[in-house]
Amino acid sequence: MNGLHDAEQPLLVCRGVAAGFGDPPTVSGVDLSLRRGEVVALRGASGSGKSTLLSAVAGLSPLRAGAVEYAGTRVSDLSERRRSRWRLESLGVVFQFGDLIPELRVSENVELPLRLLGSSRREAAARAADQLAELGLEEMGGRWLGELSGGQAQRVAVARALVHRPALLLADEPTGSLDETTAVHTMQAMLRLVRERGAAALVVTHDRSIAAVCDAEMTITNGRLGGEQPLAGVRP
């Protein structure tokens, strides 16, 4: 993609984005910009449009208006095929309910992005094992999903989203099903890796204590995005 290594250029830009259902659309008039190394929480009440916006940014649902740019390329104008490739190469996505594949072992779930990108089985297995270890899951690779706790499964979803070292992580309530202490620990582990790798992250949450470990937060109310507020960005 153009300008991928230009540190001055924002990594992600949304211009006048509208998406979702109805008239007016669920979200509209969204302008946002995310730089490399920036970790921003997207906070708002249930039904305010957080997931709708994230899915529009990821190119998983069509825009009703506006554009999404990544490293200077208008990804919202790409063909579905090229947008899928962009998503595979450049994005890590953690969905609200994990969306892991129960018919595969933990390690095979984490290997998936690498296998889709063309890594050999052997290389994918080695990198997946390293990624699991970085998230404290070194013993878990051979297990089935049903043998994990909710917190462990969430961390496996995080491992799968980060294993190919994406430049941008999009996470939708990545710790939504966890108790507060486990949720904060999982978030901190995820954001430590994002920051160490100089990547950016947009993290949907309705939870203040989760937002507090980010660098800044944006609030969405009835589908309209407010300005960015700095946060402490508590680091582990």
Ligand X SMILES: Nc1ncnc2c1ncn2[C@@H]1O[C@H](COP(=O)(O)OP(=O)(O)OP(=O)(O)O)[C@@H](O)[C@H]1O
Beta carbon of residue 112, minimum distance to ligand X (angstroms, whole number): 25
Cα(200)–Cα(197) distance, integer angstroms: 9
Q: How far is the CB of 26 from ligand X (least distance, A)?
A: 4
Which CB atom, from 115 or from 206, has the smaller least distance to ligand X?
A: 206
Task: Please check whether residue 235 is in contact with residue 222, taking contact to mean a CB–CB distance below 8 angstroms.
Answer: no
- CB neighbours (10 Å) of residue 121? 11
> How far, CA to CA in Å, does 21 sit from each of 31, 121, 149, 205, 223?
19, 41, 35, 21, 11
State the minimum distance, in angstroms, from the CB of residue 93 to ligand X.
14
For ligand X, which is the closer residue by CB, 10 or 25? 25
Query: Whose Cβ is closer to ligand X: residue 98's or residue 113's?
Result: 98
Nearest to 184 by CA among 193, 194, 174: 174
Q: Contact, 211 vs 201, CB < 8 A?
A: no
Cα pseudo-dihedral 68, 63, 93, 118, rounded to 10? -80
Task: Supply the minimum distance, in Å, between the C-beta of residue 228 and ligand X.
Answer: 18
Contact 85, 117 (CB under 8 A): no
Q: Which is nearer to ligand X, 99 or 130 (CB)?
A: 99
The residues that touch ligand X, with contacts defined as CB under 6 A, are 20-21, 26, 44, 46-52, 206
Closer CB to ligand X, 21 or 232, in the complex: 21
In the chain, where does DSSP find H-type helix?
A: 50-57, 80-90, 106-116, 121-134, 150-162, 180-196, 208-211
